[in-house]
Structure 1
Amino acid sequence: MKLMHVDASPKGAKSNSRMLSGQFVEMLRERIPALSVDYLDLAQDPPPHVSGDFARAIYTPEEERTPQMRALLEPSDAMCRRVLAADALLFAMPMYNWSMPSSFKAFLDLIVRGGVTYIAGPDGYAGQLARHKVLFLTTRGADLRDGSPFAGMDALTPALTHGFGFIGVRDPWFVDAQPLQFAQPEERAAGLARAQAELAMVADRWAADVMSEAA
């Protein structure tokens, strides 16, 4: 199985999402010895944000694009190739102001491409990531679970669900570590433990799927 592992936190060694995503990759390696990993660090290699020239190039028919347009689209083309080449996708990020970090939004904007990751046809749009296993691993300062005063303020989960759903991701896994920042030490420890247990469950499931597909 080929995994594309994307980290979005800028906090380096102090990042909870990076710690947990690294643990998940190790869980997969233990269960899937042939695992290969394509790693992308959005803090070290931030994608460009959408510009007017980029938008014009995207909506220009391919046969009419100038060499300058093709050059402008090459980072997006390359990123789409990396995503499509993977069998599984791990996206790890902190929640910022109830949604995703801007670096991850820029990444998403790079890979939502007509004619590449979704195809327009007579019956609508067909996303090209339907075969991919996808895990969104998020870390949250507050507790946004049902019953919390902040439960209605989660803009991250629907943004990820709909953004990736358009390019074919139908049943992603979500593991949310919470509460971490605005919590007592015991609450923080419990939030991390819940997330680690859920990650182990996902790793077990993915490994079982790989074994089933190989049989």
Structure 2
Amino acid sequence: MNLYKLARSLVSVVMYPLYRIEVKGKENIPEEGPVIICSNHISNFDPPVVGITSPRTIHFMAKEELFEKKGVGTLLKNIQAFPIKRGMRDRNALRNGLNILKEGEVLGLFPEGSRQKTGEIGEGLTGAGFFALRSEAVVVPCAIIGPYKAGKKLKVAYGDPIDLTEFRENKASAKEVTDYIMERIRQLHKFHE
């Protein structure tokens, strides 16, 4: 068993009962081919929660500083995460993300970039739109509906894949695509609240 599967099993055993996780719509994640899962971001627990509720292995970006911590960096690499420099255009991270999609894998993104502790869904950064436009990936919106409180129900909802044909044909900007993805996440969140 690889480390990703082992970590996933261990995290599942703890988190499912602790947060009474309820998952909706995971059939919206295609079984094969490149996929970008875009989720709102309310907690440091979001990546493991999306990781355990998705039927496929997800490659997440994580802030570079985490990879510099002893032990943490090695663990992150072994569970398919890769570093991104915050606050600047990181060509290496963009290349890594595109390569993951080119190989038909799943890329997990939190377009807001940082946690929205109020639970409100903030503005998205252009990275999500960049990856969506530069690849043939299917974009699946995801809404995490908290709070992360022991014994309280935490919902994770995956929406219908987003059709980006029109955006690609009209040569839309990365910002326009990201804004549309964020709107779909908001709608999903509202629907499952």
- Into which bin does the TM-score normalised by the smaller protein fall? 0.3 to 0.5
Using structure 2 for the length normalisation, give the TM-score. Answer: 0.35
Name the structure, 1 or 2, with higher relative contact order (CA <8 Å, separation 6+).
2
For the pair shown, the structure with the greater C-alpha radius of gyration is: 1
Using structure 1 for the length normalisation, give the TM-score. Answer: 0.32
